[in-house]
Each structure stands twice: as structure tokens, then as C-alpha cells.
């Protein structure tokens, strides 16, 4: 597969659910930290590292994406490190997994990644939805709750009884010893249903008029990771768009005369 480093430019395709935040689990804290954005453009895929990730002393490039430390990379095919995280059509549980995520059996790979978070058992990479929304705009997107395996049996059972559209609550988990800024997702009776992925906490905090609803709830026949899919909706700040600001700046060419080879492997 041919990949090329290119200058960063606006996507030609709609941004909603066409951008994912790539995160990696810190081996010391066990928390996931953002490292870059994966975007699905009109006719290719693009990956760019965050400047904040590149500045970390312990930064290590993702497999096959070393060149992106200099400038964004584009490819006509999904980069292997992400493609291998799509639930394979050859797996016997593919249909059950797609149903658990509320997706058709023939869902496109990027759509599967957006809902499944692209995680595998024992893996250290997770992809989270990162839709685009300008200042003061309404936005909504789904996410899977974390930590379901750590809930009490009665709490796990409560997930199985939920229905799409049920209202949920966002509660600060201030006694959390790992991250006192963590958010719990609960029902109206404050029964715990899982946690918000750490890299999305600041994004949730920035939203006003936010509300959560059940997108998909599954029973114990489905693995812990796919147990509860939640939709959050809210409005971005009047002076800042979603995923805007210094923390989300990506690496690009500083020189306007830098090469912009857009040749793609599928052309």
C-alpha cells in the first residue's frame, strides 16, 4: 500500500462521523491519551499526529505511521494499523457484533470503527468519534461506555433492561482514585452504567445543554466493551468549536512550499 505525506487541508466530504480521535493507553497510568486524528476524506484516508503527543518524552509512532511525525499521511486504503481493528466479515460473530452496535451487516469499515472504537482484547489503541462542529453549533455523536466489567452484577443487569431513547445522566465521579475528573453514566436512579472515555471528558465539559440517551443496550451475551452505546448531544461554546484549541493542533507543513503529493494507491 502506497502512502504519502501531505499538507493538511479541509476535507471534501462531510466531517460528521468522518473523523476519529486515535488514543493510546499509557503503560504507567493505564489511561488512554490522544495521539492523533484519523479522517475519512472524499476519496482517501488521512492521519495526523497531535503536536501535544509528539512533544511527549515517551512518544512512539504507531506502526506504519512514522512519516506522519513530519506531516499528515494520506492513503487510498485504510491504514493497516486501523484496518486490522475492523470486525472482520469472516468472523462468525460479525452479524451479532454489528447488531449490538446498531449497524447493518454490510457497514463500511470506517463506520464500524466509529462505533466499535476499534478495540481488541488486550489492545492499547482506541479510536473515538470526533465530529466537527463550529462555535455555538449543536452536535451529537455515539460512544461506548468504559469499565462495564467493573460494575456490580445488578448494574450490569440494569444495562440489559434499557431501551433505545431512554434518558441517561452524566455524573462526576469525584471519588475516582484513577481520575477524579471522570464522568459516570447513570440512569435516573443513579445506577452506574459505565464511564465516559477519559480523552472525551474535556469535550463533554465544553458542551452546554447536553443530554444523554441510550443508543443501543445489550445483554451478557455481548462482550463488556459493546454492552452500552450512548448518544450525547449538546451545544459547543460560542467562541470555540469541537476539538478546537491548542490541545488539538496537528502536525503539518510549516513551509508553504512543502510538497503536496496527493497520489493514492487506488488510482
What are the pLDDT digits (tens) for 61-108? 999 999 999 999 999 999 999 999 998 878 878 889 999 999 998 889
Q: In this structure, what C-alpha cell is assigned to residue 194?
A: 459505565
Q: CA 128 to CA 126: how far, in whole Å?
A: 7
Cross-strand pairs, 228 = 217
Ramachandran category for residue 64: left, alpha or beta (phi over 0 → left; psi -120 to 50 → alpha) = left
Q: Helix, strand, coil shares of the chain as percentages rounded to 5?
A: 20, 25, 55
Q: CA 114 to CA 213: how far, in whole Å?
A: 18
List, in order, residues 6 or more apart from 229 with CB less than 8 Å away. Answer: 100, 101, 102, 115, 142, 143, 144, 214, 215, 216, 217
Q: What is the mean pLDDT of the chain?
A: 87
Backbone angles phi, psi at 186, to 5 degrees: -130, 170
Average pLDDT of span 98-123 = 89
| Architecture of the domain delimited by 134-240 | 2-Layer Sandwich (3.30)
pLDDT at 151 over 50: yes
The CA-to-CA distance between both ends of the chain, in Å, stands at 12
**pLDDT number for residue 10:** 34
Range in 42-51, 103-112, 142-151, 256-265 with the lowest mean pLDDT: 256-265
pTM listed for this prediction: 0.86
The residue whose grid cell reads 481488541 is 120
Q: How many residues does the chain have?
A: 267
Amino acid at each position: 500500500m502506497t502512502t504519502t505525506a501531505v499538507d493538511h487541508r479541509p476535507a471534501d466530504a462531510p466531517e460528521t462521523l468522518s473523523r476519529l480521535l486515535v488514543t493510546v493507553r499509557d503503560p504507567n497510568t493505564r489511561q488512554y491519551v490522544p495521539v492523533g486524528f484519523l479522517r475519512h476524506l472524499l476519496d482517501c484516508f488521512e492521519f495526523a499526529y497531535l503536536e501535544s503527543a509528539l512533544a511527549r518524552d515517551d512518544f512512539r509512532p504507531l506502526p506504519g505511521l512514522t512519516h506522519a511525525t513530519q506531516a499528515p499521511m494520506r492513503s487510498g486504503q485504510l491504514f493497516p494499523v486501523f484496518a486490522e481493528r475492523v470486525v472482520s466479515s469472516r468472523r462468525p460473530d460479525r452479524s451479532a457484533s454489528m447488531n449490538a452496535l446498531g449497524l447493518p451487516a454490510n457497514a463500511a469499515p470506517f463506520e464500524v470503527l466509529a462505533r466499535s472504537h476499534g478495540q481488541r482484547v488486550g489492545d492499547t489503541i482506541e479510536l473515538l468519534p470526533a465530529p466537527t462542529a463550529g462555535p455555538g453549533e449543536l452536535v451529537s455523536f455515539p460512544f461506548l461506555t468504559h469499565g462495564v466489567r467493573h460494575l456490580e452484577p445488578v448494574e450490569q443487569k440494569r444495562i440489559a433492561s434499557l431501551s433505545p431513547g431512554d434518558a441517561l445522566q452524566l455524573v462526576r465521579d469525584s471519588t475516582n482514585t484513577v481520575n477524579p475528573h471522570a464522568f459516570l453514566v447513570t440512569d435516573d436512579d443513579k445506577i452506574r452504567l459505565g464511564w465516559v472515555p477519559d480523552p472525551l471528558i474535556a469535550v463533554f465539559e465544553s458542551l452546554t445543554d447536553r443530554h444523554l440517551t441510550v443508543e443501543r443496550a445489550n445483554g451478557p451475551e455481548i462482550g463488556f466493551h459493546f454492552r452500552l452505546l450512548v448518544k450525547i448531544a449538546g451545544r459547543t461554546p460560542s467562541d470555540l468549536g469541537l476539538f478546537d484549541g491548542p490541545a488539538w493542533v496537528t502536525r503539518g507543513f510549516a513551509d508553504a512550499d512543502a510538497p503536496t503529493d496527493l497520489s493514492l494507491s487506488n488510482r
